[in-house]
Structure 1
Amino acid sequence: MAEVNEVSSLTDFINNDSCCLIFDTNIYLNLYEYSPETTDFFVKLCEHIKHKLYLPSTVKREFDNNHHSSLSRQRNKFRNAVSNLINPLNQMEAKLSHQFEILRSFNFPSIDDLQETVNANIGTLNRTLNTYIDSHQEFEEINSRFLDSDIVNELICEIIENDRMLEAFTIEEIYQHCSDGEKRYKNKVPPGYKDDEKKKGINAFGDFLIWKEALNFCQANNKNLIFVTDDVKEDWYRMENSRRIGFREELVNEFKRITSCEVIGVTSSELFSELAEVYGEEIPSTAEWIIGYDVENYLDAVKDSGIDMDIEELLLNSLEGYIDTSSLSSYDGTNFEYQDDSFEIAYISGAFEGYDDGTAEYNLTFDIKAKCDTNEYYGRDGDSKEILLSPTRTHDIEGRFEVRLVRRIDSYLDYWDDVNLYDEIEIIDGLFVETSILRSEDICIECGVRRGIYLDYNQEPICERCIDNNEHGEICTSCGFKYPVEHMFDESTCYGCSSREFD
């Protein structure tokens, strides 16, 4: 067996290449009990160690058995949060009313005035609580959407998809381990003997089966182990006056004897705190988490909000500020103008950059196409001294732009209000470059807008839309040029081509 590097601290275990991690079932199930931002953060921390994270088959079976009830319990916690906030006040009001009746029966003075004053204060408190509830209704929606995404189950599925679920015991092996576990439990040998007091059948030996799976895997693969469980009882941890002081020595010794490797046992809070420290992950504020969690919906709202007009205004007000003028053909700096209605703005991507002191920032990327017109300086008229410019050249330009949005958020209610999606907008990067040029002599003589790629009988340009029979003329099917109707011999042939045919 290969030599295994000795490790001592939790950090050493995390950084050790020959180390694996196994979560007890309660770690996965407890993630449903936390707030959405906490669960999201913990699962993201697991990204750093997921290549070392393995799933015992017994954990998968126990998780599946309890998955639905864990989801339902968390949904109900949020649904009941409102009534749980109001109920104590209603109960207090009923109890006080009863006490006032007792005092009134004893002829205490001014009871009616006292009751009126108390009821007024209760009414104020009731309105305060309801105002808070009304302004934070979105949290139940956040929790519901978060549970629908079920990132805990996704983490387990990913472990399985990456072939890191441990091989299940056969039914015969399970019966044998249960028999062995029964003997261990009688002698209070960890783990799991505390479960014997409240569970029956195979379920009573779940902890022992998980431990056996971990032992077998680490022995076969020469792995050190971080075993993570929030089951803080004496059959996993050494306890002293109800205080946990370390993993059971019997488990450490058994693991080393069977695998020749080392094990450390920790709770989820210890592991996640250490992972955050080791990998430099800052625990996000609730506000930052909730904004980052909803970024996709926010960006969808921004795209539909008319942001194109704001970006176009920034570009129009800047004139040459966002264009590489050196890329413009025959441009000498004399005259430059964007064509107002020419902008085509396509959203590419967006990201939440962070939240600080009530301000959220986002960076968005857009591909933008436009047209601009330029004229070259020709000099001055000798008599009038009027400036002479070249014919207008139209340039097709395009570029990729980074746009920064700033939004001031004083409360969660402000965040969910779509009336004002951003307070500041600025272009922080991007430059137009020329992709093609359209000189005045290239413009279609009929529509005066598009590039002429065909010719009329005078060798003037006509675009692909105007090269058709219309009020301006007809196409000769022989030479292909467009002629005025009076120059046509018949509906398909010009006089020139018809005379050549007769010749």
Structure 2
Amino acid sequence: MSKMQNEFPEFYQVKLKKEDIKNSLIVFDTNYLLDILRLPVGEANKYLKALRHVKNNMYIPYHVALEFNFNKITVKTETRVALDLYKQNVMKQFQVLEDEINGLSLLKSDSMKKTFTDSMLEVTSDFKEKLSEELTSQISKSFSDKNIYKQLIKNIENSIGEKYTQDWINTVEEKGEERYEKNIPPGFDDAVKNEVIRTYGGLEYHEKYGDLIIWKDIIEKAKTIEETKIIFVTNDGKSNSKNDLLFKVKGQTIGPSIYLINELKKESKKDLYILNNIRFAELTDTLSEEEIIDLRNSEVHNSLDNKQIRFRNNFSDDIIINLNLENERNNINREYEKEFYLKRLSEISKRRKRAEHRFSYFKSKIIDAENPTVQEKENFNYLNDRLNHLIFEEEKIIDKIVSLENFDDKNNLGLENQDFDLY
């Protein structure tokens, strides 16, 4: 090895090969395990298949296992909420259809109109019931498989690291405070988190030091093994606003942070590689090209769906303010674009609420009146159309904001970290 390579080994690390997957220690982050619960049954089985491929050389840090158990119910709930929202949006269209049927003004005779609408609504009701049953059946079939969870637990339970001591955690956190002040990875991007302390099993730790606790666990494990390569499988760090794990140049992920490669090499004489979840599954060579494409598509859509759910559930003026603050970290064009859509969303949401109030008022008048006037009917139909239009506009803008939030994730999805020779 040349003097240059001896002095700066991190920049000359050997490129990762497929055969290295079976000859390295594979360390899984929490997000890989949670994806197996989050994704549809077909895609979850693909990740499970890749995980089984390295069952004999995998390692699950204790903190990863703990966070998995804390977060699994959240993931299941988010998935259920997303599916419920999907079903509600489908079924909501029947209300629009029923309103249109009831609003037919061509028939002047009340008796003729009642006969016509009753017949049409009966057909609509029958189809609505059948579609609801089919949606429930397909959702259950595609997303509910307790066997996947059981298989996951069975495959990882013998690979979980030893429980930490409180003294060890305290030492890591003391060093972590100094590291974060100097922007030393990993985890310094989490330094802005609130001082949340989590307690479990007689131990307590600050959530902001979670990534550092996992990293120090990996170092300790690396000291005890014969394998020369450590492969950390994680989706953390894909966003361009996340800079405490990966080395990036002009938005392109080159590989692990130089500091982390150096630290692991110095502490354990092992080489560090970081792969995102999909790239790991691809390198196991257990999946076809078509299956890998399915995984990529599922991850994009799943990420968007979950962010849409969280955005809708938490939409408020505070969210508007916080997202505008986040714009300062993004490039200027995207900042202005997101700010424009956020302001537009705020305006339309106010209009939608006013329209809902007026619509409810006129709807009650129509229901209570034996013979509503032509003007009242026209007002009701106008407000119904207006409200549906505003809801549609609101949905489109929310989708746009969420897509902007996920811009970095989609651009970095599947990047072949450390697979191209830029070191």
Q: 1:126 to 1:228 in 2, by over 3 A?
A: farther
Is 2:216 the counterpart of 1:244? no
Contact 2:30 2:68 survives alignment (8 Å): yes
Is 2:189 the counterpart of 1:182? no
Q: Which amino acid aligns with 1:9?
A: L
Q: Which amino acid aligns with 2:59?
A: Y
Aligned to 1:289: none
Distance in structure 2 (CA, Å) of the matches to 1:45 and 1:260:
27
Map Cα deviations across residues 389-417 of structure 1 (whole Å, 9 max, x no partner).
Answer: xxxxxxxxxxxxxxxxxxxxxxxxxxxxx
Map Cα deviations across residues 21-73 of structure 1 (whole Å, 9 max, x no partner).
Answer: 11111111122221111001210222211111111001111111112222233
Distance in structure 2 (CA, Å) of the matches to 1:263 and 1:14:
13
Is 2:283 the counterpart of 1:274? yes
Equivalences for residues 29-428 of structure 1 within 5 A: 29-87=34-92, 90=95, 112=105, 133-143=132-142, 145-146=144-145, 148-149=146-147, 151-152=148-149, 154-161=151-158, 164-199=159-194, 200-201=196-197, 202-223=206-227, 224-231=229-236, 232=238, 233-275=242-284, 277=285, 283=291
Q: 1:166 to 1:126 in 2, by over 3 A?
A: same
Distance in structure 2 (CA, Å) of the matches to 1:124 and 1:181:
65
Deviation of 1:225 (Å): 0.9
**Percent identity (aligned):** 21
2:27 match: secondary structure? strand
**Structure 1: 5+ residue stretches without partners:** 1-5, 101-110, 287-503
Distance in structure 2 (CA, Å) of the matches to 1:122 and 1:239:
58
Contact 1:27 1:228 survives alignment (8 Å): yes
Aligned to 1:409: none
Is 2:15 the counterpart of 1:8? yes
1:160 match: secondary structure? helix
Distance in structure 2 (CA, Å) of the matches to 1:189 and 1:123:
66
Q: Which has the larger radius of gyration?
A: 1
* Relative contact order, higher structure (CA 8 A, sep 6+): 2
Contact 1:23 1:227 survives alignment (8 Å): yes
Q: 1:58 to 1:239 in 2, by over 3 A?
A: same
Map Cα deviations across residues 158-203 of structure 1 (whole Å, 9 max, x no partner).
Answer: 3333xx2222221011011011111111111111111222243411
Q: 1:190 to 1:83 in 2, by over 3 A?
A: same
Q: 1:88 to 1:204 in 2, by over 3 A?
A: farther
TM-score relative to the length of structure 1: 0.45
1:60 match: secondary structure? helix
Distance in structure 1 (CA, Å) of the matches to 2:273 and 2:121:
54
Equivalences for residues 476-487 of structure 1 within 5 A: none
Distance in structure 2 (CA, Å) of the matches to 1:55 and 1:242:
30
1:256 match: secondary structure? helix
Contact 1:222 1:261 survives alignment (8 Å): no
Q: 1:237 to 1:84 in 2, by over 3 A?
A: farther
Deviation of 1:153 (Å): 5.3
**Structure 2: 5+ residue stretches without partners:** 1-12, 107-112, 114-118, 198-205, 295-423
Map Cα deviations across residues 91-132 of structure 1 (whole Å, 9 max, x no partner).
Answer: 7987x99xx9xxxxxxxxxx956xx9xxx9999999988765
2:253 match: secondary structure? strand
Aligned to 1:298: none
Distance in structure 1 (CA, Å) of the matches to 2:290 and 2:55:
19
Q: Which amino acid aligns with 1:184?
A: R
Name the Cα RMSD after superposition. Answer: 3.9
Distance in structure 1 (CA, Å) of the matches to 2:264 and 2:125:
58
Q: 1:152 to 1:145 in 2, by over 3 A?
A: closer
Distance in structure 1 (CA, Å) of the matches to 2:160 and 2:72:
18
